Amino acid sequence: MINKIVLVFCIISLLVINNDAKAKEWEKLFDHSQYQNAKISPDGKHLAVAVFSEGKKVLIFLERSTFKAVGTAKFHGRLSVGEYYWVNNERVVISIVEQKPWRELPSSYGELYAVNLNGKKGKMIYGYRSGEMQTGSHVKKKQSTRGWGEIIDILPEDDKHILISSTPMTRTGESLASVLKLNVYTGIIKNKLGRSPVPFSHFLTDTKGELRALVGTDENNNELLYVSKDRQWKQVPLGRVGTGIQLLSVSASGKYLYTIDNYKQDIKGLFKLNLEDYSYKKVFTDKKVNITGVEMTTDNRSAYAIRIDDGYPAYLILNKKLEEAKVFKNLLTTFPYSEVSITSKTKNGEFYVVMVSSDTDPGTLYLFDKIKNKLKVLFKFKPEFKKADFSPVEPIQFEVSDGKSLNGFFTQAKITEKNKLAPVVVLVHGGPHGVRDYWGFSSQVQYLASNGYSVLQVNYRGSGGFGYDYETAGYKVWGSLIQQDIRDAYLWLVKNKKAEKNNVCIMGASFGAYSAIQSAAIYPSTYKCAIANAGIYDLDLMFDEGDVQERRSGMSYLKKVLGTDDKLLKSMSPVNYVEKIKIPLLLAHGEDDERAPYAHAERLREALDKVDKSYEWFVLDKEGHGFYNPENQKAYMKKVVGFLDKHL
C-alpha cells in the first residue's frame, strides 16, 4: 500500500506553464484552458493531449518519456476535436464537433473519426460524411449513416473494433438506437447487435464486453430497464426497480447488475439486481444526499467508488481489491478536500493520468508513476493563477421560515472595506429540478469575489441531489416557495453577520434568471438589483416554443413540474406583473437560445416598456443557452460588475 506520493512539478516543453503571468488579470478566468485533457496509451508510451489552438481543440500526441511531439490530429474548417479514446496502442477514436457560422457553441452530430498517433491514416468511420462510393464490386465498403454515434465500449481485448450506439437523426432524438460493432481502421460495420426497444437508451456491457442491459426514457419521462436474455431485450417488470434508475456495472460473475436508484426510498443509493430472479437489494444509501457520481475503471466496465456531496465531496470505496481502487484511495489521501478522478491508465497499471480540482484549484492534471510512487504535473487549467488568488467556498446549512433545513455555499469577497461587510450576490442555479450547486471551482463566483462581492448559492427545494421528496417539493411552486427559500437563505446570512441587510443583488441564468426577475417582483424591498441571463419569463410560452416541448417526454415533464392550470402559470410568470418591479434590471440573452427562446426576453422587454420600466440590455446574436465564446463571457461579466458597482 502506498504511504506517501511524491509530487514532482515539471514543465513540458510543449505544454509551457507561465507562472510569471499577472495573477490579477481576472478576465482570463473565462478563457478556454489552452490544455484541455490528456490520456495515456494502453502501453504507456504516448500521451494524447487535447489543446486549444486557433479557436478550436486539436490533439497532440507526445512520447511519454521525452514529451516530444510525434503527431497531431487537426481538422480543417469548422470541425474540431470532442471526446476521444485510445482503442489500442496506436489508434485513437475522436467524437467530432462542428461550429456552425451562426452559433458560437460547437455541436456534435454524432460523427466518429479515427487516427493513428503519428497523425496518419485518419478516417471518418461513422456519420453522414463517412460513406464511400459503391462501385459494384464485392468489396465491402463503409457506409454513410445519418445518425448520432456514441461509444458504448472500446473493447480493449479487440484492437480493431468498438461498440457504438447508432441513433437515426431526428429533430427530437426520439428514434430507436441500434448497436453496431465498428471497425476503427476501415469504418466497416462488422455486426449489428440489436436495437433498443425504447428511445434515449444508455447501454451497458459486462466485464467481457457483452451487452447486458439498457435504460431508456418513455413518453412519460420514466426510466425503463431492459436486460439481455438470449440476445433479446426483456423489460424488467414495472415495480421491480425504480423509475429513475441509472446503470453502473455488471459483476464479474455476470449474476448481478449494479445501479443507482431510489426504489422504495427517498434518497438515491446503490442497489444490485439479481439478473436471474430479479430480486433487488439495497447496498448503500446516504442519510442526506443522493449518490452524486461513480468512479469507474478506465475500461468503463466496473465501479470501484461512489461520491456523495453533503457539503464537501466524499468518496466511498466499493471494491478494495481492485488495484485501481487502491491507487484512487491513496490519491484521496494526497489531495484532501478535492475532487479527484483517474482519466486513464496503462494496461499494466504502471502509469495513471489523474485530474484534481477544488474550490481554489480550477484543475490540475497529473501523471502518476506507480512504480516510482511519483506524481508529475502535466499542466494546470488556469496557470496564470495561484490558489491564494481565490476565495474559499464554505458549505453552509440554515433553517428557512417554515423550519425546513436547507444548504448552500458562501464565498467571501476577496476585497472588502475595513470594518464593513461586503455586498452580496445571490447566484441562483438553473434547472430547477435535477440540478444543484456543488462545492468546487467556479470562474463566475471567483470573478465576483475578486471584484468585492460575496456570493451566496442556495440549494432551494426543487433542487436535485437531496432525494425525491426534496425535488418534488419544488413542483408547481417555481414562483413562490422556491423564491422564498432563496430569500430566507439571504436573511440567514444577515442574521449571522455575513451580510448587510438590503445590500444584495440576485443573479442567475436559465431558471436562475427567472428567479432573479420573479424575486424582484414579489420581494421588491429585499433586493437592490437583479441580473438575468437566458431566462424564461412567460411559463405559458414553454409549452409552445423551445426544445423541451418538442419531445413527448419533454411535454410530460413540463406538465408534471409546472401543471396545466393557466391561472397558476400566469401567476408565476413575471412578465405579467412587471409593474411590481422597483429595482434596476440587467437582461442578457443569446438570440440562438433553443432551451429558453429569445422570445422570452422580447416579451419581458415589451412588458417593461409598456409600464416605462428602465433596464439594461445585453443580447448577442450567435450565442445559445448561456454564453460560450470567452470574449462574450468577459464582456458580459464586465457588464455585470459595472452594473453591481452602480447599484450596490
Instruction: Give the C-alpha separation, 178 to 194, whole Å.
Output: 6
Residue 445 is given by DSSP the state: H
Instruction: Give the C-alpha separation, 303 to 250, whole Å.
Output: 9
Q: Which of 258-272, 358-372, 618-632 is least confident?
A: 618-632
Is the pLDDT score of 551 beyond 70?
A: no
Does residue 129 sit in helix, strand or coil?
Answer: coil
DSSP 537-560: --GGGGGTSSSSTTSHHHHHHHHH
Same domain, 21 and 91: no
Is the pLDDT score of 19 beyond 60?
A: no
Neighbours of 155 (CB within 10 A): 21
Residue 569 parent element (H or E) = helix 566-571
Same domain, 551 and 489: yes
The answer to whether the Cα torsion of 112, 117, 122, 125 is positive or negative is negative
Residue 506 domain-assigned?
yes
Instruction: Give the C-alpha separation, 523 to 351, whole Å.
Output: 56
Question: What is the arithmetic mean of pLDDT over 630-644?
Answer: 94
Interval 48-65: pLDDT, tens: 999 998 888 999 999 999
Same domain, 399 and 372: no
Same domain, 257 and 376: no
Asked if 73 contacts 59 with a C-beta cutoff of 8 angstroms, the reply is: yes
The CATH number of residue 490's host domain is 3.40.50.1820
Residue 322 domain-assigned?
no
Cis-peptide into 156, omega within 30 deg: no
pLDDT interval class at 130 (50, 70, 90)? low
Residue 315 domain-assigned?
no
**Final residue in a domain of this structure, among 334, 365, 384:** 384
| Residue count (the chain) | 648
Residue 509 domain-assigned?
yes
Same domain, 639 and 510: yes
Question: What is the arithmetic mean of pLDDT over 490-512?
Answer: 95
Task: Look over the chain and give the mean of its residue pLDDT values, rounded to a whole number.
Answer: 88
Interval 508-524: pLDDT, tens: 999 999 999 999 999 99
Residue 594 domain-assigned?
yes
Same domain, 246 and 179: no
Same domain, 404 and 523: yes
- pLDDT confidence of residue 315: 96
Interval 68-107: pLDDT, tens: 999 999 998 888 899 999 999 999 999 998 876 556 667 7
Phi-psi region of 130 (alpha: psi -120 to 50; beta: other; left: phi over 0): alpha
Residue 629 domain-assigned?
yes
Same domain, 370 and 239: no
Same domain, 481 and 570: yes
**Final residue in a domain of this structure, among 195, 214, 232:** 195
Instruction: Give the C-alpha separation, 241 to 552, whole Å.
Output: 23
The answer to whether the Cα torsion of 379, 381, 385, 391 is positive or negative is negative
- Cα angle value 353/359/363 (rounded, 5°): 25
Is the pLDDT score of 442 beyond 80?
A: yes
Give the whole-number percent of the chain exceeding pLDDT 70: 90
- pLDDT confidence of residue 547: 52
Same domain, 172 and 253: no
Amino acid at 360: T
Among residues 622, 624, 635, 647, the alpha carbon closest in space to that of 101 is found at 622
Give long-range contacts, CB 8 A cutoff, 24+ apart: 195-201: 196/165, 196/226, 196/233, 197/226, 197/233, 197/235, 198/224, 198/226, 199/173, 199/174, 199/175, 199/553, 200/173, 200/174, 200/553, 201/165, 201/176, 201/177
| CA atoms within 13 Å, Cβ hemisphere of 90 | 10
Is the pLDDT score of 562 beyond 80?
A: yes
pLDDT interval class at 191 (50, 70, 90)? confident
- pLDDT confidence of residue 592: 74
Asked if 588 contacts 600 with a C-beta cutoff of 8 angstroms, the reply is: no
pLDDT interval class at 540 (50, 70, 90)? confident
**Final residue in a domain of this structure, among 257, 279, 294:** 294
Interval 306-355: pLDDT, tens: 999 999 999 999 988 899 999 999 999 999 999 999 999 999 999 999 99
Residue 600 domain-assigned?
yes
Same domain, 404 and 548: yes
Give me the number of domains the chain comprises. 4
Q: Which of 8-22, 251-265, 479-493 is least confident?
A: 8-22
Among residues 273, 279, 277, the alpha carbon closest in space to that of 213 is found at 273
- pLDDT confidence of residue 429: 97
Residue 334 domain-assigned?
no
Question: What is the arithmetic mean of pLDDT over 461-486?
Answer: 95
Question: What is the arithmetic mean of pLDDT over 580-597?
Answer: 86
Parallel, antiparallel, or unpaired for β 223-229 and 211-217? Answer: antiparallel
- Pull the grid cell for residue 642: 459595472
Residue 382 is given by DSSP the state: S
Tell me which residue range forms the domain holding 607.
391-647
Between 169 and 277, name the one with better pLDDT: 277
Interval 354-395: pLDDT, tens: 999 999 999 999 999 999 999 999 999 999 999 999 999 999
The answer to whether the Cα torsion of 309, 26, 630, 644 is positive or negative is positive
pTM equals 0.88
Q: Which of 7-11, 201-205, 208-212, 509-513 is least confident?
A: 7-11
Asked if 516 contacts 508 with a C-beta cutoff of 8 angstroms, the reply is: yes
Same domain, 170 and 207: no
Question: What is the arithmetic mean of pLDDT over 247-255?
Answer: 93
